[in-house]
């Protein structure tokens, strides 16, 4: 028996093995309803012919894709730029690869959301969403994505009220913000600046809220917000340099490590010593914190774990028809380094 030029199908295998196509199917899918003699023969023919199941046909027949879609909505063309996002994707991929699912990646700008034909050519069993923009925008994005009628996991933001078939995996950014505030206050600092970029990310809002909440319990603590056009290194350096020309805080709080390092550099260039004259804190602790001098006190994010859990919850929901938990919150931890002063 010689293979023809076209790819062999179940039919070819069946004929060569002297059985029917559905017996071949049963062998492949290990339904257990086939005698071992037949199974062995069929497997041998499969080997000989180099038969490989058509995934496309299976997907079509069973209307199941074994595929999860990841949509990142971001104004930045370089949407994977943040190492946190990267970590999430890695965790998700690692989970999905392990159970034979694929991940499909798509990045889109918020402005393209309505016009662009997002819906063309995407067909996944479930979706993972990294949204951005104001909360109204994000709600609109979410509602529109729900028309796919697949389970959805939101990363790093709580599920809005009255929304079904959606769960959320996030970390305790509020708690992380609180931990930073408490640590800084414990060093005796009271005068804080916070770098807040214009682009709205839910996690940033939570970090800020956590910081303000913890700070509000400390008498005399004051927070000044430095608005930044974007998160770029040059932007942050410019904003901080300008502000330091007029007054001096005791600590600058970055909502992520990149911004914190830029602020640190701006201060150091003006001759300020970190942490003696100015303390600096970051957030995430993934790739950057070690690259500054001194190393950055930061909050350890669990991007990989968040991605991994997102995959696990989604697959579980696919099986049972519903999410076990609507809101999964992972803990974070403060990691002290030399950019802040330590007690005892």
Partner DNA sequence: CTGAAAGCGCTTACAG
Q: DSSP 3-state helix, strand, coil percentages of the chain (rounded to 5)?
A: 40, 20, 40
- Binding site partner of 106, from a copy of itself, DNA, none, Cβ cut-off 5-8 A by kind: a copy of itself
CB of 3 to DNA, least distance (A): 13
> Angle at which helices 202-215 and 173-186 pack, to 10 degrees?
40
**Contact flags string 8-47 toward a copy of itself, x per CB under 8 A:** ----------------------------------------
Distances (CA, A) of 71 to 121, 130, 145, 266, 306: 13, 6, 10, 35, 15
With CB under 8 A as the rule, give the number of residues binding a copy of itself. Answer: 52
Establish if 58 lies at the interface with DNA (CB under 7 A): yes
Distance CA(124)–CA(34), nearest Å, equals 32
Establish if 60 lies at the interface with DNA (CB under 7 A): yes
Distance CA(26)–CA(28), nearest Å, equals 5
Establish if 320 lies at the interface with DNA (CB under 7 A): no
Alpha helices per DSSP H over the chain: 10-17, 21-28, 36-49, 55-62, 83-98, 135-145, 173-186, 202-215, 233-244, 257-269, 303-320
With CB under 7 A as the rule, give the number of residues binding DNA. Answer: 28
- Binding site partner of 6, from DNA, a copy of itself, none, Cβ cut-off 5-8 A by kind: DNA
The residue (of 125 and 231) whose beta carbon lies closer to DNA is 125
**Contact flags string 157-196 toward DNA, x per CB under 7 A:** ----------------------------------------
Interacting residues with a copy of itself between 258 and 297 (CB under 8 A): 258, 261-262, 265, 268, 287-288, 290-293
Integer Rg of the chain from CA:
26
**What is the DSSP secondary-structure string of 162-210?**
T--SEEEEEE-HHHHHHHHHHHHHHTT--EEEEEEESS--HHHHHHHHH
Establish if 312 lies at the interface with DNA (CB under 7 A): no
Q: How many CA atoms lie within 13 A of 341 on its CB side?
A: 17
The residue (of 19 and 214) whose beta carbon lies closer to DNA is 19
Distance CA(309)–CA(109), nearest Å, equals 26
Distance CA(290)–CA(296), nearest Å, equals 7
Establish if 5 lies at the interface with a copy of itself (CB under 8 A): no
Interacting residues with a copy of itself between 61 and 80 (CB under 8 A): 63, 65-67, 77-80
Q: Looking at 20, 31, 44, 55, which residue binds a copy of itself (CB under 8 A)? A: 55
- Binding site partner of 33, from DNA, a copy of itself, none, Cβ cut-off 5-8 A by kind: DNA
The C-alpha torsion from 288 through 237 and 213 to 302, rounded to 10°, is -20
CB of 33 to DNA, least distance (A): 4
**Contact flags string 183-222 toward a copy of itself, x per CB under 8 A:** ----------------------------------------
Task: Give me the residues that bind DNA (CB under 7 A), please.
Answer: 6-7, 9-11, 18-23, 25-26, 28-29, 33-35, 37-38, 53-54, 57-58, 60-63
């Amino acid at each position: 028996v010689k293979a023809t030029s076209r790819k062999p199908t179940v039919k070819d295998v069946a004929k060569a093995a002297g059985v029917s196509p559905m017996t071949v199917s049963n062998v492949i899918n290990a339904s257990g309803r086939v005698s071992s003699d037949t199974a062995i023969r069929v497997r041998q023919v499969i080997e000989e012919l180099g038969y490989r199941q058509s995934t496309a046909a299976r997907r079509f027949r069973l209307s199941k894709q074994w595929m999860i879609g990841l949509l990142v909505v971001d104004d930045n063309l370089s949407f994977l730029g943040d190492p946190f996002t990267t970590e999430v994707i890695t965790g998700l991929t690692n989970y999905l690869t392990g159970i034979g699912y694929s991940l499909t990646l798509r990045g889109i700008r918020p402005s393209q959301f309505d016009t662009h034909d997002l819906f063309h050519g995407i067909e996944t069993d479930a979706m993972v969403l990294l949204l951005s923009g104001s909360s109204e925008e994000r709600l609109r994005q979410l509602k529109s994505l729900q028309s796919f009628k697949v389970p959805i996991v939101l990363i790093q933001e709580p599920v809005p009220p009255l929304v079904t078939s959606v769960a959320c995996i996030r970390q305790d950014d509020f708690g992380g913000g609180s931990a930073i505030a408490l640590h800084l206050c414990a060093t005796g600092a009271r005068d804080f600046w916070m770098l807040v970029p214009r682009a709205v990310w839910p996690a940033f809002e939570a970090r800020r809220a956590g910081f303000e909440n913890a700070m509000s319990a400390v008498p005399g603590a004051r927070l000044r917000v430095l608005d930044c056009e974007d998160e770029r290194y040059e932007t942050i350096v410019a904003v901080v340099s300008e502000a330091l020309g007029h007054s001096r805080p005791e600590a600058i709080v970055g909502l992520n490590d990149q911004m914190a390092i830029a602020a640190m550099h701006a201060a150091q260039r003006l001759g300020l010593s970190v942490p003696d004259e100015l303390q600096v804190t970051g957030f995430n602790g993934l790739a950057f914190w070690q690259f500054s001098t001194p190393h950055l006190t930061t909050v350890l994010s669990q991007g990989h774990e968040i991605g991994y859990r997102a995959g696990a919850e989604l697959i579980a929901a696919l099986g049972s028809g519903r999410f076990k938990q609507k809101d999964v919150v992972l803990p974070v931890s403060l990691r002290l380094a030399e950019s802040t002063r330590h007690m005892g």
